[in-house]
Amino acid sequence: MLNIGFITNNHYPRMGGMEYCTHYLAKHLNAMDSIEASVACSTLRDIPQDFHYPYFCYRAKSFSFLTPWLFQKNRERMVKNQNVMLLHGQMLHGGGYEAMKLSKKFDLPFVAQSHGADVQKVPEINYGALNDNTQKNKIKEVLKSAHKLIAVSSINKQNMIDLGAEPDRIQVVHNGVDVKQINAIPFNDLRPQFGLKPDDFVLITVGRNKPVKRMELLFEALQKLKDYKSIKCLCVGPKHNLESLANRYNITDKIVLTGSIPEKYNFSNQPPYTDLINAYRASNVFVSCSYVEAFSGASTDALACGIPIIIGQKHGVIDVIEEGKTGWVMPYETPSALADLIENLYKQRDLIKTNHNTIKNSIKPLSWDTISNQMAEVYKRII
């Protein structure tokens, strides 16, 4: 039996992205006969103490000034109790750095996985851990010390190489997609609920309106498409600032602000969320204008629903799309270029519909069963 210990700070179901990755990876690794995975994480304030995890989860308790010491003891307790043989640290300057310290203390090999924000940098919005010298030094130390580095995409790998990591020590393992669960969700036409007509050409974007998401780019592109009355955009996520942004660009008639889906998280209601999946299905094209995305779960969920995607040039999901068939990369990341691309797709909307099954099938190799097997092979080569 190979015992793997995940070291992370935030953990499922508190956030998204990295947190979901850790959860589903641990869950599917535990389904294998030869591997047992456990997770040590920080305190999760809003999650019930009896929340059930399908693996051993060591959640630390927080008592103000004692918090760092308690977090450390919690991780050490997992290593001892679970007879951990290999550590897997999530986020280079977070769980990766803590895994490195535990590796030295217990003489264990460790894997460190990047998830984007640790090695990406967008100077114009002060985005990325690399803007902090203390965090930058931690990241570089982990890049040198890890027995193996995991990147979630080719772009993510190149980011690590640019920081001095040796290319042959980096393995690309994409984040998985819950393909089976998504396909099992019954279809429900949400267009009437959102005030959309059957012949509307609907874009969808998903996520919080944070600077890195660059919603201004999408909204300005929509402004340039004002004459196309049937081009609409579903904006899924907290409405904060989006309404005022829509007013600024005078496009309130082109967007539908759905709010968060689900509106209120219920810990018994776990992703993939039925209404969110059907919001994708109600759309023609998914759009992400983020400056950078190591590997977007929203993009891959959209593909699993059979809709193509528009992404930026620094989006790791480039690895898994077929240009012009399952997705398009913006040739220039400007409002005019994006508007031109959307206009061309609008004119090809009937052709896009014929690719539905091709798009759904394109994402099947990213099932969590497949991804967990790839990660298991990495672990076994190290041990």
What is the architecture, at CATH level 2, of domain 2-176+367-382?
3-Layer(aba) Sandwich (3.40)
CB 313 within 8 A of CB 332: no
Quote the CA–CA distance of 44 and 9 in Å, as a whole number.
9
pLDDT tens column, 115-149: 999 999 999 999 999 999 999 999 999 999 999 99
Cα dihedral 48, 49, 50, 51, rounded to 10, equals: 50
- Residue 151: name the closest of 141, 161, 139 by CA: 161
**Average pLDDT rounded to a whole number, residues 19-48:** 93
Query: Backbone phi, then psi, for 164, in 5-degree steps?
Result: 110, 0
pTM, two decimal places: 0.95
Domain ranges for the chain:
2-176+367-382, 179-364
Reply yes or no on whether the pLDDT at 209 is more than 90: no
Mean pLDDT of the chain: 95
Residue indicated by tokens 């012949």: 199
Residue indicated by tokens 């994708």: 280
**Average pLDDT rounded to a whole number, residues 105-113:** 98
Is 2-176+367-382's fold the same as 179-364's?
Answer: yes
Reply yes or no on whether the pLDDT at 267 is more than 80: no
Reply yes or no on whether the pLDDT at 61 is more than 90: no
Quote the CA–CA distance of 317 and 327 in Å, as a whole number.
10
What pLDDT is attached to residue 350? 92
**Average pLDDT rounded to a whole number, residues 174-203:** 96
**Average pLDDT rounded to a whole number, residues 81-92:** 98
What pLDDT is attached to residue 132? 96
Quote the CA–CA distance of 306 and 296 in Å, as a whole number.
16
Q: Which superfamily, per CATH, for 179-364?
A: Glycogen Phosphorylase B; (3.40.50.2000)
Q: What is the DSSP string of 334-361?
A: SHHHHHHHHHHHHHTHHHHHTTHHHHHH
pLDDT tens column, 214-243: 999 999 999 999 999 999 999 999 887 899
Report the DSSP pairing between strands 2-7 and 148-151.
unpaired
Kindly indicate the confidence band of residue 325, based on its pLDDT and cuts at 50, 70 and 90. Answer: very high
Structure-block tokens of residue 78: 């997992």
Kindly indicate the confidence band of residue 324, based on its pLDDT and cuts at 50, 70 and 90. Answer: very high
Kindly indicate the confidence band of residue 70, based on its pLDDT and cuts at 50, 70 and 90. Answer: confident
Those residues with Cβ within 8 angstroms of residue 319's Cβ, 6 or more apart along the chain or in another chain: 153, 154, 155, 172, 174, 295
